[in-house]
Chain A
């Protein structure tokens, strides 16, 4: 066991650090505004020009063939640098692993390149008004249209992150009306400006339109935009869910950088709130633990293992760490903690990051669902009162 990196990994880190220091624009306006979305797309273009937007992808697609270790190193440097959050994240983290695994060569050719430089931003379309944690209960349907060689989508999706400013969406629809639950679902890709698609932005807790409702009325999608097999959507989608709650969504760099900022805040203001010392320490210990835990996971995955239900352990930990860390920061700010924007500490970034952290225990499968998964799949406890009514 060793925490020492190879010479080439150290060189990779140094190169990433130097490039980010030179190029990143600092904090941008919220990506969930017109102005901010444009600025974030421009930043994606800059990243792509430096070949840093998709480091783990093959070189011919604009990546660096980076190992998982190098990807984690890149993320550590990314967050340490203070670079903006990634508007392309949904596509790169959630969709691209599926395109690589299940996509046709045509789909890969069509959708991967514009994902790398902010040309096409993707939104996820999972939840429906009646299907949240119980995702298999979705009702939005896909009807076969043999004449045109495709499918017609009808229904409604909701809580679709990035949808108000994105170009395309991906999600599950019920393609076999007689099948139940996990069966008879198909994974579709669709343009958000297609005929019959209506996107209604929804303001999030932070006031910005970070997600939306999407209405589908007779939206035609050609066969070429079915991802994976017809009726095989659940299996295909679950590989994304694993990604989202596991490694790819939240690299430790994010929390290490936040813990460092919290320590700086403590040094500035701790004297006025000495009782918060333990919480500051615990936030740092949590970030440090997350880093080490992640290296263990990387080691396992690179050795051919898979994440499995440990992704739920992972998601529970980072999502609660994120809230605890930012609540501690706000408590350190005293009466200033309510201020946002100009005139606020860090121009309001503490409050913004806090509000963002509050979503963590909810999205990518609520933490209640994650605890069920940990208890049933890792601890081996019997399935029981969380079973579907009547099942």
Chain B
């Protein structure tokens, strides 16, 4: 039993962190939201040089064939910095859904960072993310097809450029077990992004309450503020092991993997949501502005809580699994 990241995973996480920290990610995210994807694509390219986009791709398709936990390590940092783009979809869904189809040639490009893949998978994820800058597919009832954009949709998170899509040219039928596995990977990936985003919200809030002064003292001295932020810390500290544990189970394809992924998605959503609400509250009015970068994470968390299975869906899955329903 060793419930800790390996030295390699820690080093990898630090490398991803260093790259993102050296980039003006909020500027890239804001540009992406307005349709200018150049800076976000450049960041995508640099992350691919670290191997981030190759992690989920099997070696036979030019990837690294990393574990779900390796992906979690990278996606946590991507969430922390709020990097724009279909990371969840390209890194986890594409390799599982496209391998063995006529489109598996795309995987080498994904691994290299030369292509992004987006997938709409109703009913859990009915809309396609970043369809105009990605190879976009629709997975409906196990049938995978190229997606045709019907109309753009607006997400609560401006950096999530959504579209309603319909089925175009068919790609093939995906076995049900592969569909389930792919959706579990996506839910796990979203959980990792949520934990990272939640941690960023907490860090931003802690920094702010340490310097913002009212009534002659830092507002972080007030216990009402302290206690709210302590609760966020507790929630995140207990969501993270669920995400890591689910990644292990999913990597082993164990029979509790689906249950544990759902538990992780519920806890990560709750913790990140608490972080968002609390960070907004302690910032006061300035937190309620689009101008402050805090808005990037507040809005991303709200969108991701519902993406790849809202909490109600995942709670029901946990209960069904536990009660044999």
Which partner residue on chain A sits nearest B232 by CB separation? A379
B241 touches A292 (CB 8 A): yes
A379 touches B239 (CB 8 A): no
Q: Does A371 contact B (CB under 8 A)?
A: yes
Q: Does A27 contact B (CB under 8 A)?
A: no
Instruction: Encode A1-14 as 1/0 by CB contact (under 8 A) with B.
Output: 11111100100000
A5 touches B1 (CB 8 A): yes
Stretch at the interface among A51-59, A175-183, A382-390: A382-390
Separation of A263 and B237 alpha carbons in the complex (Å): 25
Q: Does A316 contact B (CB under 8 A)?
A: yes
Residue A385 contacts which of B223, B231, B249, B312 (CB distance < 8 angstroms)?
Answer: B223
Separation of A266 and B320 alpha carbons in the complex (Å): 12
Q: Does A15 contact B (CB under 8 A)?
A: no
Q: A372-B226, A379-B229 are in contact. Are A1 and B209 (CB under 8 A)?
A: no
Q: Does B51 contact A (CB under 8 A)?
A: no
Stretch at the interface among B16-24, B168-176, B214-222, B302-310: B214-222
B2 cross-chain contacts in A, Cβ below 8 A: 1-2, 299
B67 CB to closest chain A CB (Å) equals 9
Stretch at the interface among A33-41, A118-126, A134-142, A278-286: A278-286
B244 cross-chain contacts in A, Cβ below 8 A: 1, 292
Residue B263 contacts which of A3, A288, A293, A303 (CB distance < 8 angstroms)?
Answer: A288
Which partner residue on chain B sits nearest A69 by CB separation? B1
Q: Does A238 contact B (CB under 8 A)?
A: no
Interface of B: prevailing SS: helix
Q: Does A273 contact B (CB under 8 A)?
A: no
Using a CB-CB cutoff of 8 Å, which residues 173-213 of chain B contact chain A?
A: 202, 206, 209-210
Q: Does A43 contact B (CB under 8 A)?
A: no
A295 touches B226 (CB 8 A): no
Q: A1-B244, A3-B248, A281-B315 are in contact. Are A299 and B223 (CB under 8 A)?
A: no
Residue A316 contacts which of B206, B230, B319 (CB distance < 8 angstroms)?
Answer: B230
Q: A263-B322, A372-B223, A381-B221 are in contact. Are A317 and B234 (CB under 8 A)?
A: yes
A289 touches B239 (CB 8 A): yes
A1 touches B3 (CB 8 A): yes
Separation of A263 and B324 alpha carbons in the complex (Å): 11
A3 touches B323 (CB 8 A): no
Q: A292-B242, A298-B3, A316-B234 are in contact. Are A267 and B323 (CB under 8 A)?
A: yes
Q: Does B4 contact A (CB under 8 A)?
A: yes
B15 CB to closest chain A CB (Å) equals 18
Most chain B beta-carbon neighbours within 10 Å: one of A2, A285, A370: A285
A289 cross-chain contacts in B, Cβ below 8 A: 238-239, 241-242, 263, 267
Q: Does A28 contact B (CB under 8 A)?
A: no
Separation of A313 and B227 alpha carbons in the complex (Å): 12
Separation of A1 and B229 alpha carbons in the complex (Å): 29
Q: Does A380 contact B (CB under 8 A)?
A: yes
Separation of A253 and B171 alpha carbons in the complex (Å): 49
Q: Does B124 contact A (CB under 8 A)?
A: no
Separation of A263 and B323 alpha carbons in the complex (Å): 7
Which partner residue on chain A sits nearest B323 by CB separation? A267
Q: Does A376 contact B (CB under 8 A)?
A: yes
Q: Does B135 contact A (CB under 8 A)?
A: no
B230 cross-chain contacts in A, Cβ below 8 A: 316, 370-372, 374-375, 378-379
A292 touches B267 (CB 8 A): no
Q: Does B233 contact A (CB under 8 A)?
A: yes
Q: Does A336 contact B (CB under 8 A)?
A: no
Separation of A292 and B229 alpha carbons in the complex (Å): 23
Residue B69 contacts which of A1, A290, A296, A381 (CB distance < 8 angstroms)?
Answer: A1
B263 cross-chain contacts in A, Cβ below 8 A: 284-285, 288-289
Q: Does A42 contact B (CB under 8 A)?
A: no
Q: Does B318 contact A (CB under 8 A)?
A: yes
B317 CB to closest chain A CB (Å) equals 9
Which partner residue on chain A sits nearest B237 by CB separation? A313
Binding site for A on B (CB under 8 A): 1-6, 9, 69, 202, 206, 209-210, 217-218, 220-223, 225-227, 229-231, 233-234, 237-239, 241-242, 244-245, 248-249, 260, 263, 266-267, 312, 315-316, 318-319, 322-323
